[in-house]
Amino acid sequence: MISTQQNSSSAPGAVASVRAVAHSNIALVKYWGKRSSVVPDLNLPAVGSLSMTLADLRTETEIRGADSDSFELAGETLDEGATRKVFMHLDRVWAGLGHPGERPTCAVRSKNYLPTAAGLASSASGFAALTLAAHEAFAGDGRLDLAQLSALARRGSGSAARSLWGGFVRLEAGLAEDGSDCIAAPLAPANHWDLRLIVVHTARGAKAVGSTGGMQRSRETSPYFPAWIESSLADLNGAQAALLTRDLPRLGTIMEHSCFKMHACMFATQPPLVYWNGRTLDVIHALWSAREDGLMGYATSDAGPHVKVLCSAEHAPALAARLAAVPGVEAVQSLSTGPDAYVERIEP
Ligand code: PMV
């Protein structure tokens, strides 16, 4: 569907025609909660996070100059808010490049290659691809480096800051008011470790409470929020060490702990944030029982009911088969580590 926003038009020639591709990522050590800042619109996380970029799940975004702004998301219905966020983000990239005045108008077309069962976040790959594409479309002579692009992507969605790189990525929370030390960087490339992330879909449909609203509510009302924040740096450093030494039991144990702490903080929010359904717990119990049988998988889950299981490539087929057999499971996908995001020039 096409959604259009009128804006003052400018010469389409000022915009290069480009296509960017970014892959989705899943946090092994979670981010939940934003910190306040005197500078508006920075979207600074209250905790750092560590993620695995996923193969296959990706967003492709094209930008071309046009007489007016338009946004098309193939196969999906857009609300006005989503369209506004896209153009606000183009404005950020334009300003971030130091260009004066109004941004040239453009046509943006995106396609999400994400699972058929809905409810798996597309904001990470979406804002990462949009940032890369807009930067290439508007850059001219001055260019930003990847850390600066990641900081711009973060302003669209926190998890998007991690989707510029393949493999494993760490995003620092930082302390600076202006967000200058809130920076993401790659920890290890995709070929560092042959892991799988099995996505177990336990429902269809979009989540009830979006992550931005949920984080705000947890920060304001959850008595566990301070404990969640305080304990996260140890998880981050422990997970990084386990990743670099390829220690799956250690990484998996820290990952599960981070996930359960985040959900405990959500449960204790008022009104409670319960993103799980009954099947979510059934899958987690089935996973733990498989682990007792020697299939070493570890669970995580985000602001939604799906379970994501980290395991070795060797154990993935048997684990996927066991989890697919849990009653109510809609679909199971076994994904390997994904590549870096990229951008290319295309025909106008
Ligand atoms: O960046 P957002 O707004 O998509 O929030 C991401 C929050 C979690 O998925 C729950 C955790 C994370 O670090 O990705």
* Residues lining ligand 1, Cβ inside 6 A: 27, 30-32, 49, 121, 123, 157-159, 211-212, 302-303
CATH number at residue 154: 3.30.230.10
Contact present, 22 and 134 (Cβ < 8 Å): no
Nearest CA to ligand 1 atom 9: 302
Q: Is residue 6 part of a domain?
A: no
Strand order through the sheet with 195-201: 297-300, 307-312, 195-201, 331-335
Q: Which domain holds residue 238?
A: 195-335
Pair 123, 200 in one domain: no
The CA 15 to ligand 1 mean position distance, Å, reads 31
Asked if 262 and 30 count as a contact pair (C-beta separation under 8 A), the reply is yes
Which atom of ligand 1 is closest in space to residue 25's alpha carbon?
14
Q: Does any domain span residue 10?
A: no
Q: Do both 134 and 236 map to the same domain?
A: no
Could you tell me if 210 and 313 lie in one domain?
yes
Residue 86 and residue 261: Cα distance in Å, rounded?
32
Under a CB-based contact definition with an 8 Å cutoff, are residues 137 and 223 in contact?
Answer: no
- Which of 158, 203, 204 is CA-nearest to residue 184? 158
8 within domain boundaries: no
Please report the pLDDT score of residue 78 as a whole number: 80
- DSSP E strand boundaries for 36-148: 49-65, 69-73, 106-113
Q: Are residues 71 and 85 in the same domain?
A: yes
249 and 120: one domain? no
If asked whether residues 165 and 200 sit together in one domain, one would say no
Is 123 part of a structural domain of the chain? yes
Which amino acid type is present at position 293?
D
Q: What is the pLDDT along the chain (348 residues), one digit of tens a residue?
A: 334 344 444 444 589 999 999 999 999 999 999 998 888 899 999 999 999 999 999 999 999 999 999 999 987 878 888 899 999 999 999 999 999 999 999 999 999 998 654 456 689 999 999 999 999 999 988 899 999 999 999 999 999 999 999 999 999 999 999 999 999 999 999 999 999 999 999 988 766 788 999 999 999 999 999 999 999 999 999 999 999 999 999 999 999 999 999 999 999 999 999 999 999 999 999 999 999 999 999 999 999 999 999 999 999 999 999 999 999 999 999 999 999 999 999 998
Q: What end-to-end distance do the CA atoms of the chain give, in Å? A: 21
Q: Do residues 273 and 302 share a domain? A: yes
Please tell me whether residues 110 and 216 are part of one structural domain: no
How many CB atoms are closer than 10 A to CB 212? 14
- Mark whether 211 and 313 lie in a shared domain: yes
Same domain, residue pair 123 and 203: no
Q: In ligand 1, which atom is closest to the CA atom of 30?
A: 13
Tell which one of 25, 302, 306, 308 to mutate to probe ligand 1, the residue whose CB is within 8 A of the most ligand atoms: 302
CA of residue 67 to ligand 1 center, whole Å: 35
Atom of ligand 1 nearest to the CA of 158: 1
- Within a domain: 203: yes
**How far are the Cα atoms of 117, 130, 247 from residue 11, in angstroms, in the given order?**
41, 21, 54
Pick the residue whose CA is nearest to atom 4 on ligand 1.
Answer: 159
On whether both 186 and 262 belong to a single domain, the answer is: no
Atom of ligand 1 minimally distant from the CA of 123: 4
- Report CA(298)–ligand 1 centroid distance (Å): 19
Q: Is residue 7 part of a domain?
A: no
Measure 94 CA to ligand 1 centroid, in angstroms.
25
Residue 117 domain-assigned (yes or no): yes
- Number of domains the chain contains: 2
- Residues 66 and 177 both lie in one domain: yes
Whole-model pTM: value is 0.94
Rounded CA-CA distance 88/109 in Å is: 16
